[in-house]
Chains A and B, each alone.
Chain A
Amino acid sequence: MSDTATSAVDIKAQSRGQNLRFYGIWVIAAIVLIVLPMIFSSGGSLTSFSLIGISIIFALSYNILLGQTGLLSFGHAVHYGLGGFLAIHAMNAVIARGWSIPLPLIPLVGGVGGLAIAIVVGWVITKRAGTVFAMISLGIGELVASSSLILRSVFGGESGVTTNRTDLPQVFGWNFGPQIQIYYLIAFWLMISAIAMYALTRTPLGRICNAVRDNPERVEFIGYDPHVVRYLAYCFAGFFAGIAGGLSAINFEIANSAYLGAVQSGIVLFATFIGGTAYFFGPILGAILVTYLQLGLTSVTTVWQLYFGVIFIGIVMFAPGGIAGLLMMHRPLVRAGSLGLMIPAYLIALVPTVALACGVILAIEIIARQHLPADAQIINLLGIPFSATSPATWLTSVILIVGGYFVARLTWQRIADAWDRATTIARDRGYLA
């Protein structure tokens, strides 16, 4: 790769360039977060941005387990939820006792809540990795979720616990009533948590977590206890999930047992995996997409969860690296300048693939609307109204699925061929091993 005659000056210049790029990304991210509400200032988009910010923190914390340490958890919402409950109780206590703790510090209390439960259950749960860990985390999740309905005085039963965020002590004249102030609070904590979690991946602990994921036996031989490493990773993940839960409690001014439930754990798993676990920015992409779909699809269709499931199955089967993995696959091609070969193949494949997807969507919607009243029988797809009851719609759906599938298969073959050619060029030019 590198020439033998690389001088020290070159290396220094190169590392300075990399540093600049590295800090540049974070500065750009911060600027985007600040400018975003000025461009999209409607109430709806502010609410969406707030939710997306919370779910990014949550998904990143989940990736400490799944991506970094290789621990598949089905009960991560426990930390999110308990963080949320502790934050709510802390806010109520601050109001009742008149302590001078301002609202921006409350998410930290949530983090402590998530950390506390991680410290308690983590030692048992991380004794074993792999499938057993997954099952135990599911069991603990169910245990906490069911217990929350029994301990009514703490969790408020079905209705949950409420608070009023504007009654807390104010800082810089902000009372955190309007959504824009909450958005900036969430953006602030998002930046802090993201930087902290990124820093965690660069520490020796973060590196040894990767080693535990890849080869726990080898880690034991070099003198580390994988159990302890998994436990530490679990505690960090619990802490950041708690911060997300605390922010969520501030955002909604309520915490209820749904925060802790299996659905919440499932959604964060979906977001992280769809985004891609191998890269730090993967969960960010996933959280944005999943939250956006969640908000967007609920108003359009009653079976939005089914679409989630289908997208998730598709990602697991065909692109286990997630969206981030798919994007990064093209990086050597961009460097080698052979990406141009791929674009025509992609564009050609887009038409039949979209047709196939439309056919499937149409079929799902037809079945989903059989039980609905007559006024819900119109399916609006790409601006074309279809009647769910008419045979013509059935026929369109079948033609799109069958025809789309056979044509799409041919074009997918073209993509594979183009991919081979493009990677060969990249390999020849030395950008791909």
Chain B
Amino acid sequence: MLELIVISTLNGVLFGMLLFLLSSGLTVIFSMMGVLNFAHASFYMLGAFFGYQLTRWIGFWPALIIAPLLVGVVGMAVERYGLRATHKHGHVAELLLTFGLAFAIEEIVSMIWGKSPMDYRVPALLDFPAFTIFSTNYPAYKLFMLTVSVLIFLALLVVLKRTRIGLIVQAALTHPNMVAHLGHNVGRIFMLVFGVGSALAGVAGVIAGPALVTQSDMAALLGPILFVVIVFGGLGSLPGAFIASLVIGLVQTFAVALNGSLASAFGPLDPSLGPSVLSDIWNVTIAQIAPILPYVLLVLILIVRPLGLMGTRET
């Protein structure tokens, strides 16, 4: 049991940090531009596929730098040529544009790389067990992922709290109109923020690709969870997104690791009752309901606190 708790906590924090790499970009973009970027998970997928392709061509370490930059450029192009032109039609049109993009990117990726999982391997340098606890080998690559995401988290924190551009971004989180009135080149800041946000998603993709599955449906799988994270944390709140990322990461990881069901806790149902909704619920394991747990959390928080954990803004 202790083994399960330690390993699941490590994995959960790792998944949570990965989610935060994505949700932080999404939150900042949403706060500044009012656009919920539906294609954010698609940028994550692009990061993974670019990372895979570049790893095959020039190796993992250059890919770790170049792939996120490429994704950032794609993101900036989307902002410059797509969103800016759509802005005059309102936020719904912008949301729909990113929705269409997410759809198109998934199709393009599966068109180029096919629909089956890629053979994206952990680099040889990191392909060893870091330590052994309770007879379980913990891979070094996962520690590396954790380190990278924590480093980026710290870097983000420094940039946001200690630099001028961070100051502007922070101001834009709460008072977007005022920032524009103060005469900052809002267009360029938007493009930059969108690019950095996409690049962060790209980093998450490159480092998550070898550990999780690199496949053309990975965006569609992660995207909804990402939205749960930012609605759960409160739209536009970075601390909220951080807490929500960790909560959802831990909840999902623990749920997957647990094999209990009502049947194992209270004994099986009388078989003479036959199959029914009750027997379905009675026999389902916690691991099986893991995929729906984030959505249950979402519904619960909306009933209890409609603005999300730390949310303050109405829209």
Chain A residues with CB under 8 Å of chain B are 70, 72, 74, 124, 127-128, 130-132, 134-136, 138-140, 142-143, 146-147, 150-154, 262, 266, 269, 273, 303, 305-306, 308-310, 312-313, 316-317, 320, 364, 367-368, 370-371
Contacts and interface: CB of A to CB of B under 8 A. Distances in A.
B85 A317 contact: yes
Given A127-B306, A146-B291, A153-B280, A139 B228 contact: yes
Contacts of B231: 132, 135-136, 139
Given A142-B292, A309-B103, A316-B93, 7 more contacts: A130-B315, A131-B30, A134-B95, A303-B111, A310-B104, A313-B100, A320-B86
A147 B289 CA distance: 8
Contacts of B295: 139-140, 142-143, 146
Given A131-B36, A146-B291, A320-B89, A309 B235 contact: no
A371 B114 contact: yes
6 contacts: A74-B99, A131-B36, A131-B91, A153-B275, A313-B101, A370-B112
Interface of B: 30, 34, 36, 82, 85-86, 89, 91-93, 95-97, 99-101, 103-104, 107-108, 111-112, 114, 220, 224, 227-228, 230-231, 235, 275-277, 279-281, 284, 288-289, 291-292, 294-296, 298-299, 302-303, 306, 314-315
Given A308-B103, A312-B100, A150 B289 contact: yes
Given A131-B315, A139-B299, A320-B93, A153 B276 contact: yes
Nearest to B103: A309
Secondary structure of the B side of the interface?
A: helix
A431 to B, nearest CB: 25
Nearest to A312: B100
A316 B97 contact: yes
Contacts of A136: 231, 298-299, 302
A143 B100 CA distance: 22
B103 A143 contact: no
Given A135-B36, A152-B275, A273-B96, A306 B227 contact: no
A132 B104 contact: no
Contacts of B303: 124
B36 A317 contact: no
Contacts of A309: 100-101, 103-104, 107
Contacts of B280: 150-154
A367 B113 CA distance: 10
A269 B104 CA distance: 15
Contacts of A140: 295, 299
